Chain A
Amino acid sequence: MKTQWQILVVDDEQVMRDSLAGWLGEDGYTVETAASGREAIDAARRKDYAIYFIDLKMPGGIDGIETMMEIRRLHPDASIIIITAYATVDTAITAMKEGAQEYIVKPCNPEEISMLVNRIIKVKNLQRENTILRKKLTRQYRFGDIISKNARMQEIFTLASDVSSLRSTVLIQGESGTGKELIARAIHFSGDRAARPFVAVSCAALTESLLESELFGHEKGSFTGASTQRRGKFEMADGGTLFLDEIGDISPKLQVDLLRVLQERAFYRVGGSDEVRVDVRVIAASKVDLREAVQQGRFRDDLYYRLNVIEIDVPPLRNRREDVPLLAEHFLERLTPELRKEISGISEGALRLLMDYSWPGNVRELENSVERAMVTCRGHVLTEDDFAFLTRPGNGHAWTPPDVSLDEMEKLMIEATLDRKDGNVKEAAIALGIDRSTLYEKLKRYEIRR
């Protein structure tokens, strides 16, 4: 509807203001007028108009160009049309250089104004639709700060929402950069503990003794350097959530201590004799497969089962490639104000490149890549060139291991090499780095015909 678009007509002559406002009003637009540059700037401070018609010459105050520049500062995306009865090349160049979208000479043909306004509004409608659509998609595929339209992730969102107000421990497993902490935060902030603390600890970052003190606190004098009593993360998270990242890295001793806390909801500070009771919901995360670690004896099975009351396995980004464009657009939108760049989108070619890449660093790597591309981008759209760093050697691009067994891989390799060597077994053996008899055995084993 045109009435949603407001137009400001700025001219010191009332008859000019009224006639243009009347004409545009008949066309369905909501039109306001200003009799001077100062009035126009005041109006622009109160609202952002879709189109500004500004007369070039307005005696007795600031002129059309100065008015336009000030409005541009307030609204960088403003569509400004400079009107003048005195067309000169100099003023036209100045007006366009300072940001006028169009420069028209009055009186102008009705068709000219009509087409100009329609063109501008059409673009604004498309921009608005695009923004609404993007926001809709983001809302639809969002849980907290996590965005995904992958079916498996949607299941995780549902599960995380269901357990958000429970006290049960949650174990989140997934590769680095898949958003395990974001899921933990989303669980906390969508539950009834949202108003209480969310405390995160990286178990991999500290030595055993420091981690013990970090988690449980210490009493004054309990070890060298412990000059005061210190509350640990369990106490700081009392009533809220404690997020233990890289839980697979903790020592056997700390595994025992942690198990006791989970069972009894109480612990002792390092060097302390008083029991400290806490009400903490524990969410743990691990990039290593804890089931495997238990089987290998590196992780206690009783602690594993205590942590794994609710299990969430986060798929890597390469297994949910449909999320790549959604995430890339989200990072672009989020980083745009931060980086102060006017980048409106990502080209089709760039999106294809992003979809093909294997993303060993998962979502974190995607975010960093988008940021890097934005920093170096010289245009208004991110293109393949801006992501060229992903395709350089050593960047993990271009080859993702196929989902086949080792034997199948070997068979494929042999077949490809024989094909390349036109069936010559001697040359194929040399290329594969094995002797001929070994190759003949493999040909027989895999039933490969030459």
Chain B
Amino acid sequence: MMVLRVAPMGNLDEALLAAIVESLRHGYGVEVKRSAALGEPGFAWDGARGQYSAPLILRHLLDGVAAGSGKLLAVTEQDLYIPMLSFVYGQAQLGGQVAVVSIARLRTEHYGLPPDEELLRVRARKEALHEVGHLFGLVHCPDTSCAMALSTGIRQLDEKQPSLCAGCAVLAGEGRNAMRDGE
């Protein structure tokens, strides 16, 4: 059976990780395992931008996984970017093995508001579902309530549901089966 592993990069709140694991198990019907913590992504630090490079993190993760060994979602506290954009909530290989999610901009404190752990967990579940969806070959969904909808801001992310729409759920199943057959 296909295994999806979730690994924190550095120290992260266990309740948050547990919520992500449960969300992925329920959302994709795959075995989800909590893996040991990976190190902080210092290797991806860009001093000029004051952020961490998501592509470099993905490359690092890919170096550490064997082909056919399932999929890996890393979770980090650090703010991520890709060279073209000012920030990303996460990044994934489309139809690939590795993805990373950042909770830096999911925290309400980032927007000058008091901490809200429950809202952080909901947002983290949505973003995890989104990036893992890309691992199963899903692209952005035009249904703004679907977890696969593109979020370019926190408002759009909050508008999404922590679940896939019916169409994406079917496609995810097909993606999952295709990849299982290819293992």
Residues of chain A whose beta carbon lies under 8 Å from any beta carbon of chain B: 2, 13, 15-16, 18-20, 22-23, 25-28, 83, 106-111, 113-114
Given contacts A2-B139, A22-B93, A25-B139, 5 further A-B contacts (CB under 8 A): A26-B134, A26-B140, A106-B84, A107-B85, A111-B152
Chain A residues, Cβ within 8 Å of B62: none
Question: Is B85 touching A28 in the complex (CB atoms < 8 A)?
Answer: no
- A-contact bits for B85-119, CB 8 A (1 contact / 0 none): 11110011110000000000000000000000000
Partner of B85, one of A2, A13, A25, A108: A108
A-B contact pairs, 9 of them (CB 8 A): A15-B83, A25-B94, A26-B139, A27-B139, A28-B140, A106-B85, A108-B84, A109-B85, A110-B88
Question: Is B86 touching A107 in the complex (CB atoms < 8 A)?
Answer: yes
Band of interface residues on B: 20 to 34
Chain A residues, Cβ within 8 Å of B93: 22
Question: Is B139 touching A19 in the complex (CB atoms < 8 A)?
Answer: no
Chain A residues, Cβ within 8 Å of B28: none
Question: Is B84 touching A16 in the complex (CB atoms < 8 A)?
Answer: yes
Query: What is the CB-to-nearest-CB distance from A373 to chain B, in angstroms, rounded to a whole number?
Result: 41
Question: Is B152 touching A109 in the complex (CB atoms < 8 A)?
Answer: yes
Chain B residues, Cβ within 8 Å of A27: 139-140, 150
User: How far is B91's CA from A26's CA once the two chains are assembled, in angstroms?
Assistant: 9
Is residue B81 contacting chain A, with contact meaning CB distance below 8 A?
A: yes
Chain A residues, Cβ within 8 Å of B140: 26-28
Residues of chain B whose beta carbon lies under 8 Å from any beta carbon of chain A: 49, 53-55, 81-88, 91-94, 134, 139-140, 150, 152-153
User: How far is B45's CA from A212's CA once the two chains are assembled, in angstroms?
Assistant: 94
Chain A residues, Cβ within 8 Å of B84: 16, 19-20, 23, 83, 106-108, 113
Query: What is the CB-to-nearest-CB distance from A343 to chain B, in angstroms, rounded to a whole number?
Result: 34
Question: Is A107 touching B152 in the complex (CB atoms < 8 A)?
Answer: no
Task: Tell me the nearest residue of chain A to B139, going by C-beta.
Answer: A28
Question: Is B82 touching A26 in the complex (CB atoms < 8 A)?
Answer: no
- State the 8 A-B residue pairs at the shortest beta-carbon distance, nearest first: A111-B152, A19-B82, A28-B139, A110-B152, A20-B84, A107-B86, A16-B83, A27-B140
Question: Is A19 touching B55 in the complex (CB atoms < 8 A)?
Answer: yes
Query: What is the CB-to-nearest-CB distance from A5 to chain B, in angstroms, rounded to a whole number?
Result: 12
Question: Is A111 touching B139 in the complex (CB atoms < 8 A)?
Answer: no
Question: Is B94 touching A26 in the complex (CB atoms < 8 A)?
Answer: yes
Query: What is the CB-to-nearest-CB distance from B110 to chain A, in angstroms, rounded to a whole number?
Result: 15
Query: What is the CB-to-nearest-CB distance from B50 to chain A, in angstroms, rounded to a whole number?
Result: 12
Chain A residues, Cβ within 8 Å of B152: 109-111, 114
Chain A residues, Cβ within 8 Å of B53: 15
Query: What is the CB-to-nearest-CB distance from B53 to chain A, in angstroms, rounded to a whole number?
Result: 8
Chain B residues, Cβ within 8 Å of A16: 83-84
User: How far is B141's CA from A27's CA once the two chains are assembled, in angstroms?
Assistant: 8
Query: What is the CB-to-nearest-CB distance from B82 to chain A, in angstroms, rounded to a whole number?
Result: 4
Question: Is A13 touching B83 in the complex (CB atoms < 8 A)?
Answer: yes
Question: Is A22 touching B82 in the complex (CB atoms < 8 A)?
Answer: yes
Question: Is B150 touching A114 in the complex (CB atoms < 8 A)?
Answer: yes
User: How far is B82's CA from A108's CA once the two chains are assembled, in angstroms?
Assistant: 10
Chain B residues, Cβ within 8 Å of A107: 49, 81, 83-86
User: How far is B134's CA from A18's CA once the two chains are assembled, in angstroms?
Assistant: 16
User: How far is B86's CA from A50's CA once the two chains are assembled, in angstroms?
Assistant: 24
Query: What is the CB-to-nearest-CB distance from A12 to chain B, in angstroms, rounded to a whole number?
Result: 12
User: How far is B85's CA from A111's CA once the two chains are assembled, in angstroms?
Assistant: 9
User: How far is B92's CA from A106's CA once the two chains are assembled, in angstroms?
Assistant: 21
Most buried by A among B49, B84, B134, B139: B84
Chain A residues, Cβ within 8 Å of B94: 22, 25-26
Task: Tell me the nearest residue of chain B to A107, going by C-beta.
Answer: B86
Chain B residues, Cβ within 8 Å of A18: 55
Query: What is the CB-to-nearest-CB distance from A50 to chain B, in angstroms, rounded to a whole number?
Result: 16
Chain A residues, Cβ within 8 Å of B92: 26
Partner of A110, one of B55, B85, B139: B85
Task: Tell me the nearest residue of chain A to B156, going by C-beta.
Answer: A111
Task: Tell me the nearest residue of chain B to A13, going by C-beta.
Answer: B83
Chain B residues, Cβ within 8 Å of A2: 139
Query: What is the CB-to-nearest-CB distance from A381 to chain B, in angstroms, rounded to a whole number?
Result: 31
Chain B residues, Cβ within 8 Å of A13: 83
Query: What is the CB-to-nearest-CB distance from B125 to chain A, in angstroms, rounded to a whole number?
Result: 19
Query: What is the CB-to-nearest-CB distance from A31 to chain B, in angstroms, rounded to a whole number?
Result: 10
User: How far is B58's CA from A26's CA once the two chains are assembled, in angstroms?
Assistant: 15
Question: Contacts A15-B55, A114-B152 known; A23 to B86 CB distance under 8 Å?
Answer: no
User: How far is B91's CA from A18's CA once the two chains are assembled, in angstroms?
Assistant: 12
User: How far is B92's CA from A25's CA once the two chains are assembled, in angstroms?
Assistant: 11
Chain A residues, Cβ within 8 Å of B153: 110-111
Chain B residues, Cβ within 8 Å of A83: 84
Task: Tell me the nearest residue of chain B to A19, going by C-beta.
Answer: B82
User: How far is B81's CA from A107's CA once the two chains are assembled, in angstroms?
Assistant: 9
User: How far is B94's CA from A443's CA once the two chains are assembled, in angstroms?
Assistant: 89
Chain A residues, Cβ within 8 Å of B139: 2, 25-28
User: How far is B157's CA from A110's CA once the two chains are assembled, in angstroms?
Assistant: 13
Query: What is the CB-to-nearest-CB distance from A109 to chain B, in angstroms, rounded to a whole number?
Result: 5
User: How far is B104's CA from A347's CA once the two chains are assembled, in angstroms?
Assistant: 52
Query: What is the CB-to-nearest-CB distance from B93 to chain A, in angstroms, rounded to a whole number?
Result: 8
